[in-house]
A = this chain, B = another copy of it.
Amino acid sequence: MYLVKLYVTHKPSILDPQGEAIKKALHNLNHNSITSITQDKYFEIKIDANCKEDAEKVVKKSCEELLVNQNMETSHYEIKEV
Contact = CB atoms under 8 A, between A and B. Distances in A.
Given A26-B66, A66-B22, A66-B25, A38 B33 contact: no
Contact of A26 (B31, B39, B41, B62): B62
Contact of A39 (B31, B35, B43, B55): B43
B22 A34 contact: no
This chain: how many copies in the complex? 2
Interface in A1-54: 1, 7, 9, 22, 25-26, 29, 31, 33-49, 54
Nearest to A2: B33
A35 B1 contact: yes
A37 B31 contact: no
